[in-house]
Amino acid sequence: MDDNTEKMYTFLRGYCEARNLSNSLLALPYARLMHEGEKRKSGESYLIHPLGVASYGINIGLNSDEMIATSLLHDVMEDTQSNLSDLPINNDIKRNVQLLTFKRNMLLAKKDALQCYYDAIKDSEVATFVKLLDRYNNLFSMAQVFTLPKIIEYTKETEDFIYPLIEEAKKRYPLRREELNILKINITSLINAVEGMLEFIPDNERNRIRNKKTSKLAS
């Protein structure tokens, strides 16, 4: 692990030990093992992403054992060879990880498949919040590593699915409105920054990329 990843890992291990978060203490080394050797497009260890998702959750008060463990493992089934039965955590957390794993149904257009994915996530408070934390973390780093078409696609997906997810969560989980408002404000600030950057792209090029991405979503 690089120095930043090591520091985050050490912080989270100490935090979970101090609070006796048993599932998170099992999830930490498992996530490290499964993401070993995997890199983000920035060149950093991939592990820094789930560690960042969990740490940001702690920072805004989403610090339960289930929330942290789900954050740490949210990508292991989608990005590694891990199976649901392999996960060293309880069944509630396994369900959250399963909900957060996007498996494209090839019988559906991508936009319809994404709608099914987000509709399922809505039924779990923990999965909902981990998805929002994950989106914030990815938006925060995307300007450094995403191509322009990917930035536009990711921004559109945020507008189409993440904002509705936040509004639905406000209805379902009213005791979490403060955390939801924090996440919405932070996500919106990043989206606004991206939109500001896109203003420097010629209109014809920006529209061409957006139209291409929209047609792909419909296929």
Residue 88 and residue 168 in one domain? no
Residue 51 and residue 112 in one domain? no
More confident residue, 130 or 203: 130
Model confidence pLDDT, tens digit, residues 3-29: 889 999 999 999 999 999 999 999 999
Q: Is 60's pLDDT higher than 80? A: yes
Tell me what pLDDT residue 113 has.
93
| SS3 state of residue 45 | strand
pLDDT band of 54, cuts 50, 70, 90: very high
Q: Is 175's pLDDT higher than 90? A: yes
Residue 74 and residue 13 in one domain? yes
Mean per-residue pLDDT for 55-83? 95
Closest CA to 115 of 166, 180, 160, 172: 160
User: Rounded to two decimals, what is the model's pTM?
Assistant: 0.89
Q: Is 156's pLDDT higher than 60? A: yes
Residue 115 and residue 190 in one domain? yes
Q: Where among 86, 101, 116 does a domain terminate?
A: 101
Q: What is the dihedral of CA 98, 87, 19, 47, to 10 degrees?
A: -80
Mean per-residue pLDDT for 185-190? 95
The residue whose two tokens read 């209109």 is 203
Residue 110 and residue 194 in one domain? yes
Q: Where among 82, 101, 120 does a domain terminate?
A: 101
How many C-beta atoms lie closer than 10 Å to residue 84's C-beta?
13
Residue 7 and residue 32 in one domain? yes
Residue 2 and residue 18 in one domain? yes
| SS3 state of residue 107 | coil
Q: Where among 65, 84, 101 does a domain terminate?
A: 101
Model confidence pLDDT, tens digit, residues 92-110: 999 999 999 998 777 888 8
Residue 146 and residue 80 in one domain? no
Extract the tokens encoding 188. 């919106």
Residue 208 and residue 193 in one domain? yes
Q: Is 168's pLDDT higher than 70? A: yes
Closest CA to 101 of 134, 60, 142: 134
Model confidence pLDDT, tens digit, residues 39-51: 887 778 999 999 9
- Which residues, at least 6 apart from 140, have a Cβ–Cβ distance to it below 8 Å? 190
Residue 117 and residue 218 in one domain? yes
Residue 112 and residue 211 in one domain? yes
Domain carrying residue 122: 102-219
**64: domain CATH number?**
1.10.3210.10
Residue 200 and residue 212 in one domain? yes
Domains: count for the chain: 2
